[in-house]
Structure 1
Amino acid sequence: MSTTASSFRVSVFRVGWYGGTCARLVWRSTSVRGRARPAARVVSTTRTVRADWPRTLTFGTDGWSEGAYLIRLETDNGHQRYVPLIVRSARGAGRTVLLHAPATWQAYNRWGGYSLYNGASGAYATRSLVVSFDRPYDGSGAEKFLTYEWAAVVLAERLGIPLAYTTGIDVHDDAAVLRGAAAVICLGHDEYWTPRQRRHVTEARDAGSNIAFLGANTCFRRVRLEAGGTGQGRSVVCYKSSYRDDPCYPSRPDQVTTDFRLAPGADPESSLTGVLYEGYPVDAPYVVHAADHWLYEGTGVRHGEDFAHLVGVEYDRVTPGPHVPAMLEIIAHSPLVSAGARSHSDSAYYTVPSGAGVFAAGTMRWVEALAAKTGLLGRDHGMDARTRAFVTRTTENLLRGFSGGPAARHRPAPRPNAREVYGTGG
C-alpha cells in the first residue's frame, strides 16, 4: 500500500445476493499507518511496470467461504480504492464453476503508465510486452471485475445453485477444480488465455461439463505466465503483433504470444467457443433468431425482436467453416456496422458427444445488461429495464439448465443452421 494519507483501513466484502444488498462485510482492519512508497520501476527490455513495495498488512482467509471478494482500501481523508480477490474452490465436482479473468484485468491495467495496449506516451508501439501482478490496478482498482463479472456472480448466488470459484490462472496451474463440474461459466471479458488453460477447459467440455461464454472476444489472445517479482505466474506475457520478438519464436510456435487464430501455431478459438471475435467498437440491437430455443423460455420473445444497444462494445459472430462445431445453432443474429463494414453478431449454442452444451453470447455487454437501469454500475450504454429482464431470464435458464449436468441429456438438441443463416459462402 502506498498513500500520502496519514492512515487507512481495509474492509473486505464477499460478493453475493444477500437479500439484494449484493455484498457482505467479512473483515475489517484497525487503522493502519499510511506511508508513501517509491515510484514504480520499469523493466526496460519489456517495459514491465513493477511496484516493488514492502508488504504493509497481512490477513488470513481461514473460515471464509469460497467466492468473489472486494477489498476496499479507505484513507482517513476519504479516498477509496478496491482490490478484487477470489477465494478459490479446491473442487468443482457437481457444481457450476465461475471462472474469473485476472490475466485480462492485468492486460488492460495502465497503472504506472503501461499496459499491453499503450505505453506512457499512449502509443501502441511503446506498450508493455509483459505485465506484472506486482502493482496496483488503475482507476477504481476493480473496473473489469465490477463491469464484466460482478452482476453474474450476484445472479448465480441468488439462484442458489451449487457454485465453485476459480480463475483462469488457477485453471492453467491445475485443472482439478474442473473435474466433474456441471458447468464452467466464463464471464463478460475473458480475452487472455494460456494454451494450457484452453486445453483444460476443452477437456472439461469433452468430459461432459457445460461451458458458457457470457461475453465476446473470449480466448482471443494466447499468453504465457512466467515468474517475476514475488513468484511464479506473476507475469503475463503477450507480444501480440511483435510476436517475432517473442523468445518462443520460432522454436515453440504453440507458445508464441499472439492471437490464437494467427500463425505461428494458429488455432482459432471458435473450435471451443463456436464463434470468432470480429470487431470493435460497435453499438447495435440484439436480434432474436430462434425464439423457441430453450434458453429463451419464459422471455416471451418473438423471431426478429430486438433489444437496443445490447450488442457492443466488442462482438463475435459464427464463421462457417472447419473450426465451427457441427451441432451449432445460431439463436440470435444481429445486423451491425463496425468500422464501416456490415456484419452480424451471433449468439450460438452447440453440443458435443459428451453431452455438454456450449453457449456463447457474442456480445461483451451481456453481463452489464444484468444491471441495466439499476444505477449500480453507473452506466448502461442506453440498455433499458426490458433488456435487463430479457438477459436476466435467459441467463437464469442457462445457469439452471447447465447446473443439471450435460445439457444434451435433458434439453432440446441444437438445430444446426450456420449454413442456412450465412449461405454456402459463409
Structure 2
Amino acid sequence: MSEYAWSVPGGLVERPGIVPGAPEIWVYADRFSYFGGDTVSIRVHTTAEEYDLEIVRDGARPQQVAQYVGLPGKQQQTPADAYAVGCDWSESLAVEIDPKWTSGMYLVLVRMLHEGVTIEREGFFVVKAREPEHADFVLIHTTSTMLAYNDWGGANHYRGVPDGSGDVPTPISSTQRPVARGMLRKPEGAARNIHTDTPGIGWIPRHPPYEWAWVNGYSRHHADAFWATYERPFTVWAEEQGFRVHHVTQHDLHNDPSALHGYSCAVVVGHDEYWSWEMRDRIDDFVEEGGGLARFGGNFLWQVRLENDAQVCYKNPFDDPMREVDPTRVTTAWDSPEVARPGAWTMGLTGMAGVYNRYGATTPRSSGGFTVYRPDHWALNGTDLYYGDNFGIAPICVAGFEMDGVDFTFRKGQPYATGVDGAPEDLEIIAMAPAVSGSRDKWNGKVPIGAPFAEVQGIIECFYGSEPPDHLRDLEYGSGMVACHKRGLGSVFNAGSTEWVNGLIHHDPFTERITANVLNLFAARISSSNTKEK
C-alpha cells in the first residue's frame, strides 16, 4: 500500500502522447505577469487542426477581453522532462495587453472540438497595475507553491519521476509549461483538503480531493495550491465586498524590489509554503517601512531558489549543490540551523509548529474552527466573540489542512509565545486550534494516510541529527494560531490556516468580519501603533 494518499496508482498524467490517439490541447504564457502595453507570448499544443482561444479576467464578474476563433493547431515537440526543462513550444499567438485592462488574474481558455465534444484547458497570466494608489490592497499570487505542486509533464517537487506515477520528486520545476488541471479552473464544490464531516467510531480515513480528482480527470494536486482553490474565492469575496484589488505574483517580488511600493496593504491567501530569500526580503522591507501584511494562509515553511525560468527545491538539503557554496540559500526549511532565518521572524508564525488539522487521519474530530483566547483584540471588533468561543467550525473548517503556530505556554488562561523559535516578543495569539505534525499509522500500512508523522521527524533529524532543540524534540502535537505582531513601522496579521478562505466561501459571519477588520485597518494607512489591542 502506498504511504501517501496521493501515491495511489492511477490518476491523471498530463503530457503530450501519454495516451496515444487521445485529443490534446494545452496552453501557457511565457511569463507569469505583465504590465499594460506588454506583449504576452502564448504557446499552444493541440492535436486539433484548429482551436479557439478566449482571454477572461477572472473574479466576481468574469469579463471576456479577447477572443480568437479558428486558430491553426499545431502539435509541438515536448521534452520527456518538460516538468524540469520546460516545453520550449513555439509561439502560437502574441497578444498586446490593452492598457485599459485592469489589474487581475487573466485566464487563457483554449478549446477544441473532438467527435462533437468540446475539450477545454486553461493557462494564465497576471496583469499588474502601474498606479498602486488606486487599490485598497495588492494580492500576492502564490506562484512558488503552485510550481512546487504543478505536476504537468509528469512530476513536481513531491512526486512523479520518472513516468508520472512514482514518488520520486524533481528538484527543478519549470515555469515554461502549462499548469496542472484544476489549479486554475474547476467546478464549484470540488473537494478540498479537509474533511468536513465528523466521523464515528471505527472510521477509516478518506481523502476526498484525490478521490474527486481520479473520478473527474483532474490533477491529484488540484486542491494543494493556487488560484481555483485559494486566491480566486478570496478575490470573488473581496470584489463583492467592494474592495479594490491589485495583483502581483511571488515572482514579481523576487525580481523587482519595488513590486510593493505605494501599497499600504499586501495580502497572501491560502497555501504559501514556498518562498525565495528575495521574496522574504520584499515582505520584510514592506512591513518595516509601514505596510500591513494580511496573511490569510498557512504552511510558511520552505526556501526555494529561482534559476533560469525554473524553481529549485531539493527536498533533501544534502543533495543541494548550494550547500557547498552558501548554506543559507539551501532549499530547506527556514527554521533549519543552516538557513538560520526562522519563519516566525517574517510571519510571526511558522509551518514547523502546527501543522495538520482535519486532513486524513489528523485531528479528524476536532471542531474544525479556532478557539478565541483574546476576545478584546481589535481584529475581533464587531464579532461578539467571547473567550473560549469557536468560529469557523465544521462543516466549514477554517482551521484546516495545514496551519502555522509557534512554541507557546499559558499564563492565566492566555497563550504566550516562548520565543525559542524566533517568535516576536510582542506576538499576540488571538485564537488557536489543535494540530499535529503528522498521522500515525493505526492500520498497519493497509490505508494511505496522507501525512505520515515520520516525515516531520525525518526533517528535524536531517537538521539536527539525534540532538534537536527541546522545542522540536518529539514534536507531534502543536497548535494552529491566529496572531498579530508589529515589525518596524508596520504590522502583520496572520490567520495561520490554509483553509481560512473557506469561511469566506461559505460566508461564515465571524471569518468575514475578522477578514474585513484587518483589510479595512491596513488599507487605511493607519499607523501600526493603533493596531495594538487596547
Normalised by the length of structure 2, the TM-score is 0.67
Question: What are structure 2's unaligned runs of at least 5 residues?
Answer: 1-43, 185-221, 359-365, 408-417, 441-475
Give distance in 2, aligned partners of 1:196 and 1:331.
Answer: 29
> Which residue in 1 is equivalent to 2:429?
330
Structure 1 residues 361 and 180, CA gap change in structure 2 (3 angstroms): same
Pairing partner for 2:103 from 37, 58, 66: 66
Give distance in 1, aligned partners of 2:95 and 2:520.
Answer: 36
The SS at the match of 2:403 is strand
Q: Once structures 1 and 2 are overlaid, which stretch shifts more, 332-341 or 23-32?
A: 332-341
Give distance in 1, aligned partners of 2:533 and 2:315.
Answer: 35
Contact 1:89 1:177 in 2 (8 A): no
Pairing partner for 2:522 from 402, 406, 410: 402
Contact 1:98 1:164 in 2 (8 A): yes
Give distance in 2, aligned partners of 1:123 and 1:298.
Answer: 50
Give distance in 2, aligned partners of 1:90 and 1:253.
Answer: 37
Deviation at 1:147, TM superposition (A): 0.5
Pairing partner for 1:339 from 422, 434, 439: 439
Give distance in 1, aligned partners of 2:356 and 2:75.
Answer: 39
> Which residue in 2 is equivalent to 1:51?
87
> Which residue in 1 is equivalent to 2:59?
16
Residues 123-164 of structure 1, C-alpha deviations (whole Å, 9 max, x = no match): 44x311111011111123514211110122223333434433
Pairing partner for 1:317 from 395, 405, 408: 405
| Structure 1 position 137 matched with structure 2 position 173 | no
The SS at the match of 2:238 is helix
Deviation at 1:279, TM superposition (A): 4.5
Deviation at 1:296, TM superposition (A): 2.0
Which amino acid counterpart does residue 296 of structure 2 have in structure 1?
Answer: L
| Structure 1 position 208 matched with structure 2 position 308 | no
CA RMSD of aligned residues (A): 2.2
The SS at the match of 1:310 is coil
Which amino acid counterpart does residue 347 of structure 2 have in structure 1?
Answer: T
Which amino acid counterpart does residue 127 of structure 1 have in structure 2?
Answer: P
Deviation at 1:180, TM superposition (A): 3.6
Give distance in 1, aligned partners of 2:254 and 2:233.
Answer: 25
Structure 1 residues 222 and 342, CA gap change in structure 2 (3 angstroms): closer
Deviation at 1:258, TM superposition (A): 1.4
Contact 2:183 2:229 in 1 (8 A): no
Q: Which has the larger radius of gyration?
A: 2
Give distance in 2, aligned partners of 1:272 and 1:266.
Answer: 13
Deviation at 1:409, TM superposition (A): 4.0
> Which residue in 2 is equivalent to 1:231?
none
> Which residue in 1 is equivalent to 2:493?
359
Pairing partner for 1:75 from 112, 115, 120: 112
Which amino acid counterpart does residue 10 of structure 1 have in structure 2?
Answer: L
Q: Once structures 1 and 2 are overlaid, which stretch shifts more, 184-193 or 329-338?
A: 329-338
Deviation at 1:39, TM superposition (A): 4.0
User: Matched residue pairs, number?
Assistant: 383
Which amino acid counterpart does residue 335 of structure 1 have in structure 2?
Answer: P
Which amino acid counterpart does residue 425 of structure 2 have in structure 1?
Answer: A
Which amino acid counterpart does residue 339 of structure 1 have in structure 2?
Answer: S
In percent, how many aligned pairs have the same letter? 29
Contact 1:41 1:51 in 2 (8 A): no
Contact 2:78 2:88 in 1 (8 A): no
Give distance in 2, aligned partners of 1:391 and 1:29.
Answer: 41
Give distance in 2, aligned partners of 1:154 and 1:271.
Answer: 31
Deviation at 1:178, TM superposition (A): 1.5
> Which residue in 2 is equivalent to 1:350?
485
Contact 2:354 2:478 in 1 (8 A): no
The SS at the match of 2:106 is strand
Pairwise mapping of residues 170-249 of structure 1 onto structure 2 (< 5 A)? 170-218=252-300, 220-227=301-308, 234-241=309-316, 243-249=317-323
Pairing partner for 2:242 from 157, 160, 180: 160
